[in-house]
Amino acid sequence: MTIRPAQAGTGVVFRRVDLDGFEVEAVGRNVAKVSYATSLMKKGVLISTTEHLLSAMIGCGVDNAIVDLDNLELPILDGSAQPFVTMMLGVGLKRQRRKRCYLRILKTVEVREGDKYIAVHPHESYSVAYSINFPHPLIGESSFEVDLSDGEFVREIAPARTFGFFHEAEKLKDMGLIRGASTENAIVLSHDDVMNGPLRFEDEFVRHKVLDLIGDLALLGKRVIGRVVADRAGHYMHTALVSRILRDHSVWEEVTLDDKTRELEAVAT
């Protein structure tokens, strides 16, 4: 995988260099299938496991990039967004002349599935609150909230790794999933312990769910101004929220940074 600079207004575009440079834009209309990861597809060309890189781009403030891939899946690396963040910040970011365009939420949008839900509400900044509940002694009920306007992503979210349960591994591999999973790229849990500790955070599990959500909501194509609240949602519901938002133009508007700044100044006055 190679990340290349792109002109203002490009957004994030995945390019399959093994398929004559075929391009798949990282936007909601290209969401293909969602199970244990989020995949994109355009004209039969697949891009798999996009959420960690897209989350890192939102967290680092990267709006425009071309991502060259020589196969269908992004590298999992250590199972977090930290390696992507380190690489991008290490080479440096360039400020572009065009004003950043935000998607500001005007009305609450909600997706429910039984007692699970995800919603986005009008808010003055971009914040995410997530709750999970797993029947495991090291996870149980856990919640975490982060505001993405003050750099917390790099410190508090990017290092959080994906996780899985050892007793489910063979079944998932038989389904064609997690084929590259190992103790090097995921937290592996036995019935009552972490098999490859230590954890990076005591609540690393819910922090990784926040990481996934930020990456999935990047498929809106613009940064969000709103508060997202999720309870045991997962990739399917994340992308369902993206689709519902994009379908209803009455629940959002596009604003530039100057528009947003003027409004906040007026409120402060």
Report, as residue numbers or ranges, the catalytic residues: 235
For 69, left (φ over 0), alpha (ψ -120 to 50), or beta? beta
For 28, left (φ over 0), alpha (ψ -120 to 50), or beta? alpha
Distance CA 200, CA 217 (A): 24
- Tokens 């508090």 sit at which residue? 156
Distance CA 198, CA 15 (A): 36
CA R_g for the chain: 18
- Report which DSSP code applies to 119: E
Distance CA 66, CA 59 (A): 17
Distance CA 252, CA 59 (A): 22
Q: What are phi and psi of 224, to 5 degrees?
A: -90, 140
User: Which of 40, 3, 81 lies closest to 221, judged by CA?
Assistant: 40
* Cβ contact 255:124 at 8 Å: no
User: Which of 109, 110, 78 lies closest to 204, judged by CA?
Assistant: 78
